[in-house]
A and B are shown apart, each in its own frame.
Chain A
């Protein structure tokens, strides 16, 4: 609902500090504060006091405290109900997974992200200095207006607008940080590698690969060509990488016009070293953001809001996928070859041609150049001439995104070391050239572009009749999204509205609805009606609480409603298509002339439609003891149904269909709670605060349509989405007689030191039918954060802890499978491996050089609790006193230092980052210094 804010500001609303939007004392002065009294909501905003839905906001100023390259990572732990899974700090590609209230569906859990009403794919690449607030919408009443697209939750980003001021406010922000990995696995040197490789082969019953002469050579380490000992991490990675950003904002204006202009620049470099940016490149990400928002009062009743924003993103990176580059640093053994030949040429072998240094420095680079422009224009005309409180509005919004590609690539000759016996009878090594050097050649093309045009218009009505407050909004929106070269645009239409009523601003009720449709679904299943009801009660206004000293504010809220989720559905899956398929056909005659075949393509479902969620929510907002303590609680229960499931799971093979239809049949129950609290007080001239957030969401698949399983315990029914299944490990086989007296393990031949599993169905055979649900799932049920700060005479210190719990991680991949594809071995594995002597204390299986299908499979041996607590951020700042600043003609000057991801605690037992877990680009610590100045 679009409400004139100044009418309904209540003193209580001003006092109620949303915990999420809680501005730290120091930072609050350096940036314009969130308009605390207003809660951003779907298609509008409301005074916080009147809000009956579940929503939470965080201000840009708050997000600014965490120095990250992507805005999403700055949101970690800042909003109750919002879970963000950091997936490494690769510059320009560090877009994390974002979930609102856990998992809702076995399908796509992605949410809708809107910037000033425009849907975008990711909010990661906005600048924090253009953000007024980020809001998460959680319950049906908050989401109903998004109809068929809202059920997974919505993130609303609101950009900053000008404030009336008698002069131009100019703010300059600068931050300079450098980043280092939180953790890099420690890998063996050549001597240990060779020695343990021999042990592994002995375990496999094979002859050792390395002679004593070899081992001595590796141990001495005097001949880097005959006995190389390379740490690829050391060869590739520099000590740290810089992250810096700057922004300049202007804002001001008067009665007739207000403006806000922002220009920002960010530069983030990767961890690789030795690159020059011309013939090769470090991973690097540069971003320019700009935004201009102007509000015009054309007449007393006609206002126009115009916005223009956008960004340029330039990325450069080596011509190898980051995952492969990091894998290679582990799988290329330390003794594989020296990095270069004695005359500086890059080495390689036929089996290991991608010398990590060669790939970084000799292959050229790739680059991507993206630009994104958004513009909005919105006209609001008050229609008091027709009836008081009525207004009409219309808006046009436009978004364009372009991704361009420019690569400069070359091939190089590599030199393969050939070991021979020299004339003196001693081993020697020669290098033989393989392949050819080529010049750098430019590759462009494969550009991608999309456009979105939104029309939005409607009526707003808002009026009080004595004790009765009445509000109404109805609007129509058409959203058309065109991807270059895609034949039919994505279209969405939405007729949505809200009717709210309050009595004495004490009892609140609201009906919101959407009648919306998407072209992806068949006629008859294309449009749907999504209503939601909510109510609120401001108890502190009742007589019995009016004079309470303890309770200053208390609101109870409840809501229920229906929302849809269209994500994950294939477009036009209701049409049965037939077509030529190049892979199908037949050879007639005696030669090789191919007759292509016409086939029935993926099976259609003529009734396919969106998922639906019935969401119930109750909540309370309260403030106690002179508003020093504020508290907000939500409890929700969501019944998701009509989830798309593949009928192939339950369809017999004799249906003869390779690609079965999906149907709206699955069901998931999701429930949980969010609590947030803050205490703020002062002791003398020390201001301090402490707060925390806790979110819990648990789900259960109540209609799985799982493939039939032999054993009931293997069913995915009534398990959470993504529940881990695996074998139950009983330790290691002690010896051959232990193996002989145990059930047969069928995955591969087992030897002493291999993992022994429990025979769950007692059939004497260990196979996949013995897999049971173990642990939980890769995403957390619980997200929490703790925040505390003090301020004293301009100095401020703030600590921000964040963590996850009820989460399981699966230790998989090369770090846990030494010698697989030649991979190196970590110190953890080395120290804990099973040997006949250490069988009692070993915590890792025996070494092997064979693909060990018995050990390296899902079991509780490799499942660990993924709970962790992280000191996500520390910030120490100093704000200069006004007297000093006046002489410098400044309004405000603050300097600060901060640290990101400095410490963490977990139960993994293995030296690995609890967030990324794998060999890929690591999570980064960032040390930052910065200043903020306002003229």
Chain B
């Protein structure tokens, strides 16, 4: 009997277990945070803003070998800078992204050799939108919240500009897109806005942000968005909008679809007033710097003009930089020296990229006294090496600070001079052009020193923007020469007198090339000026001065490559993975 009691008991127990246990599965132990907690704490809210910075900032130095999401976007044109993909420079190694651009061997099915990927812009835009929509819940003061929100609004606008600069009118995303399910796809397939709408969105964002942004931060937070940055983005955007590529009755290639026509430029013909708006916006940056910022101005330190100009790019602690960015993320896998320094001088490994400065671009530099250098070499004829040294040595301070030519010191004052032809086996003769890139790079000593910060906005640009926009809108001659000569005077170059609009246009463009050389301006400037298709700019022969060693070293003017260009390239194509989804109108010609 006792057994039966036991049996019945155990039967009841088993049945009870069977029918009750099913409800309670282990609840996962979780230490992870939710969005409420992110924006419920000051430190995490701030850290999320750093995420917006990290994904919305522009850093264009090639830094990684890696091919992960950190490696691709905003790291130059894959293993080199974008200057090597226009007439400023050339990358000697054939594995760079610039090679694809120069051969015209790029299109919608690759990812533009990783120069640019729109999805990473939109990743930053999404982060900015998350921040903008949630920061109000955070425990910061109203004023702090407004300022932080303004930073995110600015960064979101910066990414929209980044897209617009390459693609024209783009999809504007100003809210967090709900993307949890395939059912959300229709909501996410936002069509392209017109070019005008895109410009207006960026300008409005800048106006909104400028209202709440501070003029500066304490040194710990140097590099955060100041009011001047918002004014600067507005000025650059309006300058682009006023430029011939967009501000014209004629498109760069024929466009029949009126909707597409509105996406690639203004549809109401040339309007001089756009230049006036651009001029005003640039002047606002200059006024902010001199009257409001309390710190910003053209850098005028150092006795020597060469050192002075160089200092801007190797010492971030100067008063000319409105916004710059360090490398994104904490990856210390520093390939910068391999990609940008002259092989053997800093980088001693195999297969350097070796960025050389073209002869085409060298001709932009005047002599230090403001007169023109005589370039009368016949191609293919050997001239004495001493003449190479002399001619290049006479060029103005900004050339000396930007280019490392043969026969000069890498570290000035050490007495160690490099004659490139003497180091054939050690990779110092493998470059195209007249010499190596020196700007930015000089401060980098070896593979363990960090890459320099990338300058997004510095004040000199806005003197040049102002001069250009004023000249195009028939503004005051004295204002034009004032702006131009401020920039020239800073490097001890003699001033320029006003001549006429067309001549000033040439001079302003040339000055812009020289002052902003290799800073990723010219690549876009020749597009917005619609001159990329001219011989020697993006198309045709690229020239260099080839050195030969021996008892009597010589140099020879030689064409090192012919570059390919088609007018459809004025704007990038949208990626095939996006156009195949059917919601994007592809840019003309692609």
Contacts and interface: CB of A to CB of B under 8 A. Distances in A.
A52 B308 CA distance: 90
Nearest to B575: A653
A491 to B, nearest CB: 5
A476 B123 contact: no
A582 B332 CA distance: 12
A527 B22 contact: yes
B249 interface: no
Contacts of B21: 476, 478, 493
B30 A596 contact: no
Contact of B33 (A489, A578, A582, A657): A578
Interface in A510-546: 515, 517-519, 526-527
A653 B578 contact: yes
Interface string B26-61: 111111111101100000100110110111010000
Which of A527, A585, A655 has the most chain B CB atoms closer than 10 A to its own CB?
Answer: A655
A123 interface: no
Given A459-B11, A592-B450, A655-B179, A586 B25 contact: no
Contacts of A458: 14, 18
Interface string A584-609: 11111110101111111101111000
B264 interface: no
Given A515-B22, A578-B38, A590-B222, A392 B54 contact: no
Contact of B26 (A489, A586, A603, A665): A489
B109 A769 contact: yes
Contact of B185 (A582, A584, A650, A768): A650
A599 B51 contact: yes
A685 interface: no
A457 interface: yes
B53 A604 contact: no
A708 B582 contact: yes
Nearest to B178: A655
B14 A459 contact: yes
Interface in B317-355: 317, 325-331
B17 A654 contact: no
A485 interface: no
Given A572-B30, A603-B179, A604-B180, A476 B17 contact: yes
A729 interface: no
A663 interface: yes
B33 A585 contact: no
A656 B119 contact: yes
Nearest to B327: A587
Contact of B18 (A457, A587, A592): A457
B221 interface: yes
B26 A488 contact: yes
Interface centre among A488, A584, A656, A665 (most CB of B within 10 A): A656
A908 interface: no
Interface string B120-133: 00111111001000
Nearest to A495: B22
B386 interface: no
Nearest to A711: B580
Contacts of B223: 586-590
Contacts of B177: 654-656
B220 A588 contact: yes
A488 B15 CA distance: 28
A652 B582 CA distance: 10
B583 interface: yes
A647 B48 CA distance: 25
Contact of B28 (A517, A571, A589, A652): A571
A580 B26 contact: no
Contact of B25 (A487, A493, A596, A651): A493
Contact of B29 (A488, A587, A606, A661): A488
A653 B118 contact: yes
Contacts of B109: 710, 767-769
B497 interface: no
Contacts of B130: 600
A594 B330 contact: yes
A660 interface: yes
A584 B69 CA distance: 11
A583 B18 contact: no
A32 B450 CA distance: 72
B70 interface: yes
Given A517-B25, A576-B34, A708-B581, A585 B48 contact: no
A518 to B, nearest CB: 7
Nearest to A746: B105
B118 A650 contact: no
A340 B47 CA distance: 57
Interface in A348-400: 381, 383, 385-386, 392, 394
A392 B48 contact: no
B173 interface: yes
A6 interface: no
Interface string B166-201: 000001010001011110010011100000000000
Interface string B210-235: 00000000011111100000000000
Contacts of A589: 219-223
B297 interface: no
Nearest to A383: B7
Interface in A563-585: 571-572, 575-580, 582-585
B140 to A, nearest CB: 15
A392 B122 contact: no
B316 interface: yes
Contacts of B326: 586-587, 592
A647 B33 contact: no
A715 to B, nearest CB: 11
- The 5 A-B pairs with the shortest beta carbon distances in the complex, nearest first, are A656-B126, A587-B326, A708-B580, A653-B119, A597-B51
Interface of A: 381, 383, 385-386, 392, 394, 457-459, 474-476, 478, 480, 487-489, 491, 493, 495, 515, 517-519, 526-527, 571-572, 575-580, 582-590, 592, 594-601, 603-606, 647, 650-658, 660-661, 663, 665, 705, 707-710, 746, 767-769
14 contacts: A383-B11, A385-B7, A459-B11, A459-B14, A478-B21, A526-B25, A584-B54, A586-B50, A598-B48, A598-B51, A600-B35, A605-B181, A709-B580, A710-B580
